[in-house]
Structure 1
């Protein structure tokens, strides 16, 4: 099981805090550092310094880390045009020496769109735009000469399809979501990984089954698609430390144990095993207290070697 660290900087965290987490995750041996792509705080509370742009941040981290993979969970297709996004990701891939992954979704948080003058079309249109963006971005990255595409929302004419990413044939693409039809089909067609974020074991199993069926429908080997989950983490050496960390992020321990990955290292290893049994290859540990680098060290020392 690959373990990755996943953070939510829109909740009020600076670039310096993100750098600290990324370096701690790299030093601890985690596979990747991922961040959300949001422009407004979700829920109440102090917004702090305000949002940081995901791809500007990852460009900086690309030059300040050496091994750890970097990506988004998930970039919203409503935020950027597909051509400039393909260029940005390819550039950060080059800056990192080929360590970038693109998680791309339809977008869902209407408030941040209103706050920053970003159009927020209806759900069906957002999915249509997502499909076209996946077609264009992967096409631009893999085209050997020029690339063209004619869609309902985006069209590309005689693009030189440059710059190229370092990774060949392209950086890994992640598709996530809970839709029973369109999401698994998009994952089967375009993605290297499907993510079921914050889902209980039974529901994640059903979603994974949907991606297997979608792969089979188009003649793709279902085993070629990585399946992952993202869950809030709260790890402590004993019950008191778990309770202290839960209180810091405003959560209750029973809720975290039921809907996240919480407890002592032994409890967390057992919880991870439940997801492994349904076919998860990868787990994103959502770290909500980005100043708690000791928790990353604890997970690295006592959980990572056991999974």
Structure 2
């Protein structure tokens, strides 16, 4: 059965009251998970409330019982991987083993410039990301002391205690579509690969390429779960869909693999993604105050999957 989750842009006006309402709605409505981004700001436009990632996930871990959750994704460019691994192990334990740790290289120039973090050029950024993945996965997966000598990070007999609650540590998610940089890293380090804004055909193609890379890395393809994030514009009626679009061309969004429409259209598109190999679809929900829409989507779509 395909899992359906909600994904929230945490930098797009999320404060504590709004976050708590979203969390409770997603938990009660029956979704599999709630994921959120980790940014200081949007790439452009006004600066809005951006509730800090790990504080928000700690509250979620303590105040929900069922849903999985995690960052999609948290970057090593402004979060040190040792601290990220430490926080992830603690929050996963608090939740009873429901965290999925999405990690990324970082990409947004605005926030790095504003807060004084080095983004680096693409080659060195991904070199740093690979080292970060090495550090995080070794700390989370091994009870033995970890030593590592890299360009960006160095460890000397490091051990994280208490250990993660789950055997094998917190599952690591690597997101992105790049066949040259991202997919090879997912093949080596990830428990889950998350594609971004892909239709079923492109998702299936990249997933097949990932299978080859996973085998080349000495692993089995089934060891790496497959998920996908897409924009969602849902309305209980066509009139509500048009209202949400606000005059924006529907076709342009659909060309970017967005799912736009009523329950029947969502069921059809999600079915196509499941046939393409997606095990979880994260619906990027930008209307963060439209909790009724989240509930209506759940009641209209989830029972039909």
What is the TM-score when the length of structure 1 is the normalising length?
0.94
Alpha-carbon separation, structure 2, partners of 1:238 and 1:87: 45
SS for the counterpart of 1:84 is helix
- Runs of 4+ more than 4 Å apart: none
Alpha-carbon separation, structure 1, partners of 2:38 and 2:194: 15
| Residue in structure 2 matched with residue 103 of structure 1 by the alignment | 102
Q: Is the 8 A contact 2:231 2:285 kept in 1?
A: yes
Q: Shift of the alpha carbon at 1:251? A: 4.2
Match of 1:178 in 2: 177
Q: Does the 8 Å CA contact 1:37/1:73 hold for their aligned counterparts?
A: yes
Paired residue secondary structure (1:285): strand
User: Counterpart in 1 of 2:78?
Assistant: 79
Residue 256 in structure 1 maps to residue 253 in structure 2: yes
**TM-score where L is the length of structure 2:** 0.94
Contact 2:4 2:281 in 1 (8 A): yes
Pairwise mapping of residues 1-307 of structure 1 onto structure 2 (< 5 A)? 1-44=2-45, 46-48=46-48, 50-247=49-246, 251-258=248-255, 259-307=257-305
3-state DSSP of counterpart to 1:153: coil
Whether contact under 8 Å (2:147, 2:157) holds in the other structure is yes
Task: Provide the rounded CA distance (Å) in 1 between the counterparts of 2:144 and 2:248.
Answer: 52
Give the Cα separation in 2 of the matches to 1:163 and 1:134.
20
Q: CA deviation at 1:208?
A: 1.3
SS at match of 1:52: coil
Q: Greater shift after overlay, 137-146 or 264-273?
A: 137-146
Deviation of the 1:303 alpha carbon: 0.6
Contact 1:73 1:103 in 2 (8 A): yes
Q: How big is the shift at 1:300?
A: 1.2
Name the CA distance, whole Å, in 2 between partners of 1:19 and 1:54: 13
The Cα offsets for residues 139-164 of structure 1, whole Å up to 9 and x where unpaired, read as: 11122232211122111001122232
- Retained in 1: the 8 A contact 2:44–2:110? no
- How far apart are 1:274 and its partner, in Å? 1.8
Answer whether contact 1:173 1:193 (CA < 8 A) is retained. Answer: yes
Superposed CA deviations along residues 87-110 of structure 1, whole A, max 9, x for unmatched, are 111111122121111100111101
Aligned-partner Cα distance in 1 for 2:111–2:43: 9
Distance 2:10 2:276 in 1: 30
Q: Give deviations 1:170-207, integer Å, cap 9, x for gaps.
A: 11111111221221111111111111111233332222
After the TM superposition, which of the residue ranges 173-182 and 197-206 deviates more from structure 2? 197-206
> Contact 2:41 / 2:111 at 8 angstroms: preserved in 1?
yes
Q: For the Cα contact (< 8 Å) 1:230–1:285, is it kept in 2? A: yes
Work out the CA distance in 2 between the residues paired with 1:61 and 1:79: 23
> Equivalents in 2 of 1:172, 1:90: separation in Å?
10
In structure 2, distance between residues paired with 1:253 and 1:47? 27
Q: How many residues align?
A: 303
